[in-house]
Amino acid sequence: MGSKRVIVTAARHGCSRVPVRVSADALGGKGAVALKDRATGLVSPTQIMDESGRRSICWILEPLGKGESRDYEVVPGVGGAGVELVDFPGDRVEFHVGGGLFTAYRYGGELARPFLHPVIGPEGKCVTRGYPMVEGVPGETTDHFHHRGIWVAFGDVNGVDDWSEDPGHGKIVHREFVEKTSGPVFARIRVLNDWTAPDGGKIIEEERTITVYNTPDTRRLMDLSVVFRATRGDVRFGDTKEGGIIAVRVATTMDGERGGTITNSYGGVSEAETWGKPAHWCDYSGAVDGGIVGISVFDTPGNFRYPTYWHVRDYGLFTANPFALSAYFNDPSRDGSFVLESGGVLSFSYRVYIHDGDAAAARVAEEYHSYINPPQPG
């Protein structure tokens, strides 16, 4: 085992601490290994990541500059808490990074739909609004009762409102967990949900995967994938701005109306320059507890209508919604709806990057390339 080597190169873009992978077959299919930097002696734990039957060994790469490489020796595995799931059956699953709470996936039966709350960023600062889960926070806004942390929802699924919590709304109902994994490098849950009509009838099936990585507390990385399966006939995602395949309600003090900043990959700033515009990523930053923090969402090549359109508001809402073309262009002839035919599959993947500082200070553009053009083994 000690004779094996792994070399990783950041060919065109530098990177900070990001997850990288190498085929498990390349290391003989072994999972209980670590990687020792041959130059520094630093040992990085690894973890098996199994996706659709493809087994990879994943670890967190230390920072590399453009054109730099890291040469590892494969050594026996090391332990460590890393990222741990803490289960509260029937209510929530918490993600703890390095022993501290990062977020909780809440799915209890009385909820209209699952969501993540709280979402803790650098230095223990919460980057999402507490309301309506926590009421009475001084200075916090109380509009839009259905805006809950980070969530997945859409306002027109075969005509059913699975976005608001107004009378007659649909529900996203938790069915089962198909994976719960803790480990030294990441923790992951994979969940099956049913999107239902007000009468409880199933419209579409969703498989949601949330992966949280073991990064320093100055930065958090989370991957979200959403896979829709039309198991009950055709499903039409209507042309409405009321929705987000990933949606965020930022902490009130981060709102654009209160001095926060919205930035997109084309350099757009504020709601006026980013709402309804396509972009590879969008970032929302602002003041929390005396410091500046931010949250980015990265779209993924291969997603529907990549780069996605953003429904992002100065009052703190922040969603990736590729369907609302008539609203974005203020043109009823631009129909953004999409019909997923019976038996079909529609998949989305995003990365969430939570950081110190604004988008420039956090090098969000570079981080995006670390996501879509990661350092490569070989």
Q: What is the mean pLDDT of residues 101-110?
A: 95
pTM check: above 0.85: yes
pLDDT on residue 145: 97
pLDDT on residue 31: 56
As a whole number of angstroms, the distance between CA 118 and CA 295 comes to 13
pLDDT value at 240 more than 80: yes
pLDDT value at 25 more than 90: no
- pLDDT tens digits along 319-353: 999 999 999 999 999 999 999 999 999 999 999 99
pLDDT value at 176 more than 70: yes
β-bridge mates for residue 36, sequence order = 43, 73
Task: Output Rg (C-alpha) for the chain, integer angstroms.
Answer: 21
Q: What is the mean pLDDT of residues 181-208?
A: 97
As a whole number of angstroms, the distance between CA 161 and CA 96 comes to 33
**Residue written as tokens 């973890």?**
47
Contacts with 200 (C-beta within 8 Å, 6 or more apart), sequence order: none
pLDDT value at 2 more than 50: no
pLDDT on residue 55: 87
Q: What is the mean pLDDT of residues 30-59?
A: 87
pLDDT value at 27 more than 80: no
Tell me the pLDDT of the chain averaged across its residues: 95
- pLDDT tens digits along 28-43: 655 578 999 999 999 9
- pLDDT tens digits along 128-140: 999 999 999 999 9
Q: φ, ψ for residue 152 (rounded to 5)?
A: -125, 130
Task: Name the pLDDT band for 24 (thresholds 50, 70, 90).
Answer: confident
As a whole number of angstroms, the distance between CA 181 and CA 179 comes to 6
pLDDT value at 26 more than 80: no
Instruction: Give all domains of the chain, ordered by start, each with its CATH number.
Output: 5-76 (2.60.40), 83-377 (2.70.98)
pLDDT value at 288 more than 90: yes
β-bridge mates for residue 177, sequence order = 191
Q: What is the mean pLDDT of residues 9-35?
A: 83
Q: What is the mean pLDDT of residues 152-162?
A: 98
| Cα–Cα–Cα angle for 32, 219, 274, rounded to 5 degrees | 130
Q: What is the mean pLDDT of residues 73-82?
A: 83
pLDDT on residue 64: 93
- Structure token digits, residue 317: 């809402």
As a whole number of angstroms, the distance between CA 371 and CA 41 comes to 26
Contacts with 138 (C-beta within 8 Å, 6 or more apart), sequence order: none
Region of poorest pLDDT, from 46-60, 156-170, 359-373? 46-60
As a whole number of angstroms, the distance between CA 360 and CA 112 comes to 36
Region of poorest pLDDT, from 46-60, 89-103, 236-250? 46-60
pLDDT on residue 1: 42
CA-CA-CA-CA dihedral for 301, 202, 144, 315, to nearest 10: 10
As a whole number of angstroms, the distance between CA 371 and CA 20 comes to 9
- pLDDT tens digits along 358-371: 999 999 999 999 99
Task: Name the pLDDT band for 182 (thresholds 50, 70, 90).
Answer: very high
As a whole number of angstroms, the distance between CA 178 and CA 194 comes to 14
Candidates 263, 271, 359, 272; CA nearest to 315 is 271
Q: How far is CA 3 from CA 6, 38, 93, 280, 306, in A?
A: 10, 12, 40, 41, 43
As a whole number of angstroms, the distance between CA 186 and CA 291 comes to 27
Task: Name the pLDDT band for 3 (thresholds 50, 70, 90).
Answer: low
pLDDT on residue 377: 84
